[in-house]
Amino acid sequence: MEDGGRIWLIGGTSESAVIARLLTDVGIPCIVTVTTPQAKLLYPQVNGLEVLVGKMSPDIVPHFLHKMQIRAIVDATHPYAVAISQLAIAACAQKNIPYLRYERPAVVDLGVSPKAKVIELESFDTLLQGDYLHRKRVLLTIGVKTLPAFKPWQNRCTLFARVLPEVNSLQVAIEAGFTSDRLFALRPPISAAMEKVLWEHWQISLVVTKANGSAGGEDVKRSVAEALGIPLIVIARPKVPYPHQTSDFAAVLRFCRQHILE
Closest CA to 236 of 113, 68, 114, 107: 107
pLDDT (tens digit per residue) in 3-52: 569 999 999 999 999 999 999 999 999 999 999 998 999 998 998 899 99
Which sign, positive or negative, has the C-alpha torsion 126, 129, 131, 135? positive
Closest CA to 85 of 95, 75, 94, 93: 75
Domain that holds residue 245: 6-105+239-260
Number of domains in the chain: 2
Q: What percent of the chain has pLDDT over 70?
A: 94
- Is the domain of 246 the same as that of 231? no
Using an 8 Å Cβ cutoff, are 85 and 229 in contact? no
Closest CA to 57 of 83, 32, 93: 83
Q: What's the CATH code of the domain at 26?
A: 3.40.50.720
31 strand-pairing partners: 8, 50
pLDDT class for 115, splitting at 50, 70, 90?
low
Q: What is the DSSP pairing of strand 99-102 with strand 70-75?
A: parallel
- Is the domain of 231 the same as that of 134? yes
Record the pTM: 0.89
CA atoms of 238 and 223, how far apart (whole Å): 24
pLDDT (tens digit per residue) in 77-112: 999 999 999 999 999 999 999 999 999 998 865 454
- Is the domain of 165 the same as that of 84? no
245 strand-pairing partners: 101
